[in-house]
Structure 1
Amino acid sequence: MALELNAANFEAEVLKSDIPVLVDFWAAWCGPCRAIAPVVEQLSTEYAGKVKVGKVNVDENRELAQQFGVMSIPTLIFLKNGEKVDQVIGFTGKADLEKKLNAIL
């Protein structure tokens, strides 16, 4: 299950993570965010122990969204060693997300 990320736990869970992290920036009112949510949950289960998967509600964590330059949602950001290595904006299929995850493992 994807972690709920916020300003309080973001540094420890994401920036200091010893494994790659996929962060899903989303909002409850966003249709494409709801569409991609099951895919993100599947990836969090399938990549458990290899990739950490977290979600940031942009309405509750505007400062994190601004920090990463999130202008449209959903935005999925891939981080490794605390550094952004890739991102996807908008709904993206599971196969494409798996390719990106495998590339950073």
Structure 2
Amino acid sequence: MLKEMNLNEFEKQIIDMKKPMVLKFTAEWCSGCRQLAPIVENVERQLGDEMAFYDVDVDKSLDLAQKFGVMSVPTLILIKNGEEADRVTAPAGNEEAIIEFLNR
């Protein structure tokens, strides 16, 4: 299970950011999010030394979702050097596609 992220925690993490960050915007009611969760967890096990992975529940952290303009879930946002580097909404449900997205 990924660590949860909210706006306050994000602002703290971004200051001390040493490696890229992946924010997975999700919601409890989202079936696509539930399907994607174990896939992203497997990717985290593979890339966790290189990237920090976080869950953002849009219902609990609406402010962070608004900060990034997230309108649909699931959405993955890659943060590099403190800024959004890339995003994908409703990513393909396989590890290879997610790893390819993260390595762009």
TM-score by length of 2: 0.90
TM-score by length of 1: 0.90
Number of aligned positions between the proteins = 103
Secondary structure of the residue aligned to 1:9 is helix
* 1:52-91 equivalent positions in 2, closer than 5 A: 52-91=52-91
Partners of 2:70 and 2:48 lie apart in 1 by 25
Moved over 6 A (4+): none
* 1:9-20 equivalent positions in 2, closer than 5 A: 9-14=9-14, 16-20=16-20
Residue deviations 1:65-105 (CA, integer Å, cap 9, x gap): 011010000010011011111111014232111012223xx
CA 1:6–1:60 in 2, change beyond 3 Å: closer, same or farther?
A: same
Residue identity matched to 1:43: V
Share of identical aligned residues, percent? 38
Ranges in structure 2 where 5+ consecutive residues have no aligned partner: none
Contact 1:33 1:91 in 2 (8 A): no
Ranges in structure 1 where 5+ consecutive residues have no aligned partner: none
Shift of 1:8: 2.5
Partners of 1:77 and 1:64 lie apart in 2 by 12
Partners of 1:16 and 1:96 lie apart in 2 by 29
1:94 matched residue in structure 2: 95
Shift of 1:15: 5.6
